[in-house]
Amino acid sequence: MIKMTMFLKRHPDISREEFVRHHIEDHGPLFRSIPEAGTHVKRYIQTHPVEPPEGTVPQADYDGTAEIWFDGPDGMKAVLTSETYQSKVFPDEKTFLDHDNTLILVGEQTDIIG
């Protein structure tokens, strides 16, 4: 299993509130509509920032994260090269993400607690 973690920056033309609403209400369901995702995606979560308790950690300047667990590299490729992703999901990303400043990390997860 591999995990793709994306540190997301919103498109400069939209507000943080618009970004969060679109990410949850529009983009999430659109990604879920990818037929190959039903076979190859084991989990997909979105996280949006809240103010951390004072004196704990500095907050990074990102508008959210998305984490997607795939059954393996071939499954990841099947989803991200699928017709639905290429024709619907990726074009939607261009409407609310700043792709040039979004970071992507693909790796294997190691459980430490839990």
**In the chain, % of residues over pLDDT 70:** 100
Q: Give CA–CA dist 74/86, Å, rounded.
A: 16
pLDDT digits (tens, 9 = 90+) for 31-47: 999 999 999 999 999 99
Q: Are 92 and 30 in contact (CB under 8 A)?
A: yes
The model's pTM = 0.92
Q: Are 68 and 41 in contact (CB under 8 A)?
A: yes
Architecture of domain 2-50+60-107: 2-Layer Sandwich (3.30)
CA distances from 17 to 38, 69, 107 (A): 29, 26, 30
pLDDT digits (tens, 9 = 90+) for 52-80: 899 999 889 999 999 999 999 999 999 99
Q: Mean pLDDT across the stretch 92-111?
A: 96
What are the boundaries of each domain within the chain? 2-50+60-107
pLDDT given at position 114: 80
pLDDT given at position 96: 97
